[in-house]
Amino acid sequence: MKSTFSVIFYLKRQVVKKDGTVPVMGRITVDGSQTQFSCKLTVDPKLWDTKGGRVMGRSTAALETNRLLDKMRVRINKHYQEIMERDNYVTAEKVKNAFLGLEHRYHTLMQVFNRHNEDYEKQVEAGMKTKATLSKYKTVYKHLQEFLNIRYHVKDIALKELTPAFISDFEMFLRTDKHCCTNTVWLYVCPDSVLRGSFQSLSVYDCRRIHRPESMVPVLLR
C-alpha cells in the first residue's frame, strides 16, 4: 500500500538575521511522521506566502528563491519514489537523508543476486564452474524478478527488509505459479559471505530458522 507523503516549506521566524530575513525550512511527512531540514535560504518574512510556501512578488530574488524551492521539491519527490521502488518501505527520515546525501545505501536482493551471477559467469569462463549451474542461477533470477513484480509490485527489495515470510511466499510462488514440485525447490541462503558471492545450501526448514534477514538469498531450482 502506498504511503502518504508531502513536502512543505515554512519560515523559522524565531531566528532573525541582522538584515531582517529569516531561514526557510523544509518539512517532509510520510504516514504522519515528520522530519525537518534547512533549505539554506533566507527571505523577507513580509514577502512569504505561508499557504503556498513561496515568496510573493516578481523580483529577481523572489523568482530565484522560488526556483530553488521548486527544484528541492522535485528532488525530494524523486528520492521518495526511488526509495519506495527499491525498499518498498519509506520513512520521512530516509527521504531526508537521501535528499541531503546522507543515505546509507543498503544492498538490495536483486543487486546482490545479479553481482553474484556476474562473478559466477566469470568463473565459468575460467573453467572453474559449470554452465549448467549458472543457467540455474539465471533461471532463479528471472523467477525472482517476476515474483517481486507480481506479489510486491516492486523491482527490487532491500536485504534488510527480507523476512522468513518472504522466503515462504517465494516458495509458494514457485509451487503454484511455476508448478515446481517439492523435490525441485531448493532454498539457498548466504550468511555474511553473500556479499562475497559464496552461497551455502540449506533446506526449507533450515532456512526458516534464520533470524537475520540480510543472511537470506533466494531459491535455486534443480
What pLDDT score does 53 carry? 96
Cβ contacts of 22 within 8 Å, gap of 6 or more: 11, 12, 13, 15, 16, 42, 43, 45
What pLDDT score does 160 carry? 67
What pLDDT score does 78 carry? 96
Q: Are the beta carbons of 65 and 21 closer than 8 angstroms? A: no
What pLDDT score does 141 carry? 87
pLDDT mean by block of 10 residues, the chain; 222 residues? 85 94 96 92 96 96 97 96 83 90 70 85 91 86 87 74 79 81 48 34 33 38 36
pTM for this entry? 0.52
Residue 115 sits at φ, ψ, to 5 deg, of -65, -40
What pLDDT score does 215 carry? 38
What pLDDT score does 106 carry? 57
What pLDDT score does 2 carry? 60
Strands 5-11 and 22-30: antiparallel
Q: Which three cell numbers stand for residue 207?
A: 532456512
